[in-house]
């Protein structure tokens, strides 16, 4: 069974149909709805994504206020309309090459709400790519072990690339992230 995959270029409102292969029931993946839109972004040559519903805003890169004695991947904090938001450099966190802050570098501010709390975190990424609309049978389970694995929900085919879909709840749990570091 095949389902339709649509991508939306953020710089133009054109959408082009691409065929995706059905493999794993998308609804069985914890925390992902049956059909969803994802914001895709680049870290070096790798494609990653987060559910668009978790994106608060996308900001141009500006150096955050440093936090003394923070891990290297925690670049500091920014003030977002009166809220203090930690900023994590995903290249550094995932061990994906040396961090360079270019004009295309952005901070994706994510929001996660649970019954107990609401969290915000900024993720420094090389560039935002597209918004990907995904059907309900296209998520593949993640494979192997790496620094990224604890934060993965699965893998998606996007044209001729594979997008690693990140688990926002795990990514925004800074206590758990710091615990994994020690």
> Residue 106: its pLDDT value, please?
97
Token readout for 177 is 């992230």
Give the global pTM: 0.74
Domain spans, the chain: 2-181
CB distance 72 to 58 below 8 Å: no
Token readout for 79 is 């003030």
pLDDT, tens digit, 9 for 90 and up, residues 97-152 = 788 899 999 999 999 877 777 889 999 999 999 999 876 557 777 676 566 677 88
Please indicate whether residue 25 or residue 43 has the higher confidence score (pLDDT): 43
Count of C-beta atoms within a 10 Å radius of residue 6: 16
For the 2-181 domain, the top CATH level (class) is mainly beta
> Residue 140: its pLDDT value, please?
77
């Amino acid at each position: 069974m095949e389902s339709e995959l649509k991508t939306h270029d953020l710089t133009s409102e054109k959408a082009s149909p691409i065929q995706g292969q059905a493999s794993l029931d998308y609804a069985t993946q914890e925390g992902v709805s049956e059909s969803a839109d994802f914001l895709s972004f680049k870290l070096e040559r790798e494609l990653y994504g987060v559910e668009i519903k978790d994106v608060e805003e996308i900001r141009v890169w500006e150096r955050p206020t440093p936090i003394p004695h923070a891990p290297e991947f925690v670049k500091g904090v920014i003030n977002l309309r009166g809220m203090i938001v930690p900023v994590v450099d995903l290249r550094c966190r995932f061990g994906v090459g040396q961090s360079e802050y270019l004009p295309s570098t952005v901070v994706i501010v994510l929001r996660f709400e649970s019954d107990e709390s609401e969290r915000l975190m900024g993720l420094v990424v090389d560039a935002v790519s597209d918004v990907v609309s995904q059907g309900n049978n296209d998520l593949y389970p993640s494979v192997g072990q790496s620094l990224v694995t604890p934060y993965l929900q699965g893998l998606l085919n996007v044209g001729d690339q594979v997008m690693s879909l990140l688990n926002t709840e795990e990514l925004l749990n800074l206590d758990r992230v710091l615990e994994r570091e020690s």
